[in-house]
Amino acid sequence: MNYYTKNALISAIKKSTAFAELKMSDESSIIICEYGGRPLGIFPKEDSISLLWIASDIKKAIESRDRTIGGDRYWISPERDYFYENPETWEGWFCPEGLDPANYEILVNSDISCTVSSNISVMNQRTKENYIGEITRQFTLIEEPFQTDVSYCGIEFIDDCVFYKPNLKINGWSLANVISGGPDNPGTVLIPINNPDPKPLSYFRIIPADRLIVRENYVAYKIDVDNVYKLAIRPEDINFTKPAKIAYVLKIPESEEYGFLVKLSDDIPRSQDQCFDVARDHPDSEVGVVQSYNSESPDKPLLRYGEIELQLNMFETIDNTSHGKATHQLFAYIGSKDEILNVIEKYLGIDNPELF
C-alpha cells in the first residue's frame, strides 16, 4: 500500500503500538504513534489519504523495529558524526536505534494534545563517545494563522531534548516524510528566499538542473522518488520575515485535488556558525539549514518518500547538560489547485509558483 486513509492506518497499527488521535473536527485529525514518538498520519479531510508518507507495510515495520515508518520524526545533526560508521570517509551509514525509533511512551493525551517521551542514546562515531539523555515531544492541534476556507489540519511541536554531557556541538533536526506520485506525478518543494541570487546547495551529489527552479523569491525542487538527491538552503538565503520555511505541494494521486504541507519555525539557525550539518559532497564549504531529500524507490511500483526538513536550534549548555529546545508547526491542506495556490501565496508570499 502506497497511501493510507485514517481508517486504514488505524486498522494496520492498532495491534502493534499504542497511538492517539488528535481531532481538529469531524473532518480532520492527526494520528500520533507511540512507536517512534511522532505524528504518523495527517488527514485534512475525512477519507483523505495522509499527506505524510507511511511505510507500505507499517505493521511489519513496527513489529520488526524498523526505523523507516514515516511521519514527522526528530533526529540530531551533524549527520556525519552520528550516522556514519566512518565519518572521515562518509562510509557505513546507519541510523542510531537509541535515537530512532528509541523507546517512546505516550505520557498524556487528549483530543487536542499528546506528549511522548523516551530515553535516548547516540555515539559520536568520530570520538567514540556515547551520549545518553532524554527527549520529550509535545504535540498540540493549532488553528491556521489566517483564514483560508480550505480543509486543513495544524499541529505544533515542542521538542525538548537533553544529553547529560555539556558543550556538545549539535542541532535538533525535524524531518517530515512526504508522499509522492512518482516520476509521472512529481511533487514540488517550495522554499521562500530573501536573496534574488541564492546559492542552493547539493548535499550528496550535484542536483541536475531539471530538478531545480530558482526564482527571485523562491527555490523549487522536484520530488519524484526516482533518484537520490538532497537540497539545502543557506541561512543567508532564507526569508526570516516569514515563519514558513519550507513547503510541499502535490497533485494527489488518482484525484483532481492538491495537497499542501508547510513547516513553520523561528527556532532555526540564522548563521553558518549555528549549524553543524556539513554536506557530504562539500564538507569544508557552506552549510544549509532548510533541507529537502528525494529518495529512490527500490521496490517499484511501491513508492518511497521525499522529505522536508528543518535544522533546529543548536544545543546550549545548561546545568552541565547539552539542551536543545525548539518549537515548530506543521499545517496540511487539501483542496482544488486554485485553492492551494491561494494558500501558498498566504504562507510563502509566492504568487503562482512554477510546479513540477
Instruction: Render pLDDT for 7-53 as a digit per residue (tens, 0 to 9).
Output: 999 999 999 999 999 999 889 999 999 999 999 999 999 899 999 99
Q: What is the mean pLDDT of residues 135-156?
A: 98
Q: Is the pLDDT assigned to residue 100 strictly greater than 90?
A: yes
Contact 334, 45 (CB under 8 A): yes
Q: What is the mean pLDDT of residues 174-187?
A: 97
What is the per-residue pLDDT for 281? 87
What is the per-residue pLDDT for 26? 87
Our CA angle for 191, 80, 138, nearest 5°, is 60
Q: What is the mean pLDDT of residues 104-127?
A: 97
Q: What is the mean pLDDT of residues 264-277?
A: 97
Global model pTM greater than 0.85: yes
Give me the percent of the chain exceeding a pLDDT of 90: 95
What is the per-residue pLDDT for 41? 98
Q: What is the mean pLDDT of residues 200-218?
A: 96
245 burial level (CB within 10 Å; 0-12, 13-18, 19+):
buried
Class of the domain covering 6-348: mainly beta
Q: What is the mean pLDDT of residues 251-265?
A: 97
Q: What is the mean pLDDT of residues 143-158?
A: 97
Instruction: Scan for cell 492506518, then name that residue.
Output: 9
Distance CA 215, CA 254 (A): 30
What is the per-residue pLDDT for 96? 98
Mean pLDDT is lowest, of 3-17, 151-165, 272-286, 339-353, for 272-286
What is the per-residue pLDDT for 282? 87
pLDDT tens for residues 233-251? 999 999 999 999 999 999 9
Q: What is the mean pLDDT of residues 63-89?
A: 97
pLDDT tens for residues 219-233? 999 999 999 999 999
